[in-house]
């Protein structure tokens, strides 16, 4: 037992070393693609890298998937209206600079497209889901041959339902005989979108994390320069504008433009450092309130326990059936983050205690851009019912897990299953 524990520790430390290198982000890297400062609003970047061929004799037969909904408009119409009202009021008072007037006109263009769409899946999001489904079909055609029986489930939020439909419809365009049973129901919310009472209590403003976060937030929103470029009177700003709130509102509008069709940009009104600083605030919150921050002692990752159990149970059923199949699930960023951490995917469970260094260890845009997805692909040895291997992909890129393997990036399912069973046994049962 001691030797087994020592071997596991060596594997885990090696994985963490690789993981730290992979996960680290630099200020320069982010500045080179300023859209990444959108964080969870970063539009799906598409796959990178190549697909490693399975060892000789193995053929894919099952795919287990969990995906975030595709790109959307801002979560509520009010997020646009609050910003626009400030500019309209200043316009009426003659208090805008030339840049401020230009921004006001850009906002009018944005609003003409966004009005009534708060929280909705955008056409960009539809394209993302269709593209992911198409690449899945092309990469693993064996899974979809004949008349396979597939299962698709989404949370009850409309953008997730429509993401599921866009994904499934693209698959059926390739093989109309495919049967995909689709459901969106509260029945499945206890694993598609589950949060423990303890986790929700922790993440409230009364939680032990919030005061330190509030101070970090205050230090990283510096609106004076931006306000002075938009308004022509400091006295008007003092009496009529909440600079911090307006800067944050403009940041969200700017970040979301990559997720919708109008070709309007607001990045020119910001300095890159300003975007970087505001992004760090939201990366901080995602890390602590959904991710593997050591401050939570695993509390947030435990939110994904029922989802990982469903993944395990569904895989067992697919293997036992002896047929080709797939399980598709659709939810939200707050579900993907704990899932990838609990699954121990490369890059997704680094721990860092210094808020100034959170982004160097853990980046939300690398894990949960719009349409983020986890795919676990199962391969069976021809002529064998139990010689099964798997590989893991995050956003269609092969990733490692801390399980010993002689066929990387593939793993023997019996070893993976044992690893997760042991991991789940260490978590408390759901109430």
| Burial category of 116 from C-beta neighbours within 10 Å (exposed 0-12, middle 13-18, buried 19 and up) | exposed
Which two three-digit tokens encode residue 83? 């910003």
Domain parsing of the chain, residue ranges: 20-73+122-199+297-426, 77-119+208-284
First-to-last alpha carbon distance for the chain, in angstroms, is: 32
Strands 149-154 and 58-68: unpaired
Contact residues for 325 (Cβ-Cβ < 8 A; gap 6+):
61, 62, 143, 148, 149, 150, 151, 318
20-73+122-199+297-426 carries CATH number 3.40.50.1240: yes
Stretch (H or E) spanning 322: none
Q: What is the pLDDT of residues 182-220, one digit of tens each?
A: 999 999 999 999 999 999 999 999 999 999 999 999 999
pLDDT values of the chain reduced to their tens digit, one per residue, 431 residues: 333 333 333 343 444 333 443 445 788 999 999 999 999 999 999 888 789 999 999 999 999 999 999 999 999 999 999 999 999 999 999 999 999 999 999 999 999 999 999 999 999 999 999 999 999 999 999 999 999 999 999 999 999 999 999 999 999 999 999 999 999 999 999 999 999 999 999 999 999 999 999 999 999 999 999 999 999 999 999 999 999 999 999 999 999 999 999 999 999 999 999 999 999 999 999 999 999 999 999 999 999 999 999 999 999 999 999 999 999 999 999 999 999 999 999 989 999 999 999 999 999 999 999 999 999 999 999 878 789 999 999 999 999 999 999 999 999 999 999 999 999 999 877 65
Question: For the chain, what percentages of helix, strand and coil (3-state, to nearest 5) are there?
Answer: 55, 15, 30
User: Cα–Cα distance between 371 and 220 in angstroms, integer?
Assistant: 28
Length of the chain: 431
Instruction: Using alpha carbons, select from 129, 67, 80 the residue that is nearest to residue 106.
Output: 80
């Amino acid at each position: 037992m001691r030797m087994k524990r020592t071997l596991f520790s060596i594997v885990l430390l090696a994985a963490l070393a690789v993981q730290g290198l992979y996960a680290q982000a630099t200020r320069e890297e982010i500045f080179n693609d300023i859209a990444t400062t959108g964080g969870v609003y970063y539009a799906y970047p598409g796959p990178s890298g190549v697909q490693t061929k399975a060892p000789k004799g193995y053929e894919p037969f099952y795919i287990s998937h969990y995906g975030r909904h595709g790109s959307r408009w801002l979560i509520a119409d009010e997020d646009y209206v609050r910003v626009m009202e400030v500019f309209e009021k200043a316009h009426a008072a003659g208090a805008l600079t030339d840049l401020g007037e230009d921004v006001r006109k850009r906002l009018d263009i944005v609003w003409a497209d966004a009005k009534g769409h708060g929280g909705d899946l955008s056409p960009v999001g539809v394209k993302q889901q269709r593209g992911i489904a198409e690449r899945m079909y092309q990469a693993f055609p064996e899974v979809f041959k004949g008349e396979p029986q597939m299962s698709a489930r989404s949370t009850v939020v409309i953008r997730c339902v429509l993401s599921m439909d866009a994904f499934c419809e693209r698959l059926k365009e390739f093989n109309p005989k495919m049967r995909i049973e689709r459901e969106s129901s509260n029945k499945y919310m206890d694993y598609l979108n589950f949060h423990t009472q303890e986790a929700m209590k922790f993440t409230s403003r009364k939680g032990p994390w919030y005061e330190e976060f509030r101070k970090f937030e205050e230090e990283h929103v510096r609106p004076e320069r931006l306000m002075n470029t938009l308004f022509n009177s400091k006295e008007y700003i003092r009496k009529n504008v909440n600079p911090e709130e307006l800067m944050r509102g403009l940041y969200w509008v700017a970040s979301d433009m990559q997720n919708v069709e109008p070709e309007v940009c607001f990045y020119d009104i910001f300095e890159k450092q300003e975007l970087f600083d505001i992004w760090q605030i939201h990366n901080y919150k995602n890390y602590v309130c959904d991710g593997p921050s050591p401050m939570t002692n695993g509390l947030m990752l435990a939110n994904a326990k029922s989802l990982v159990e469903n993944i395990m149970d569904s895989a067992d059923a697919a293997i036992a059936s002896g047929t080709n199949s797939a399980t598709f699930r659709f939810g939200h960023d707050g579900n993907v983050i704990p899932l990838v951490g609990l699954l121990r995917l490369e890059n997704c469970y680094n721990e860092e205690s210094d808020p100034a260094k959170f982004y160097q260890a853990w980046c939300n845009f690398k894990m949960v851009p719009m349409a983020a997805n986890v795919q676990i692909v199962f391969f069976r040895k021809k002529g064998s019912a139990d010689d099964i291997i798997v590989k893991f992909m995050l956003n269609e890129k092969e990733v490692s897990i801390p399980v010993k393997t002689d066929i990387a990036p593939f793993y023997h399912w019996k070893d993976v299953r044992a690893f997760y069973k042991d991991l789940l046994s260490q978590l408390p049962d759901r109430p």
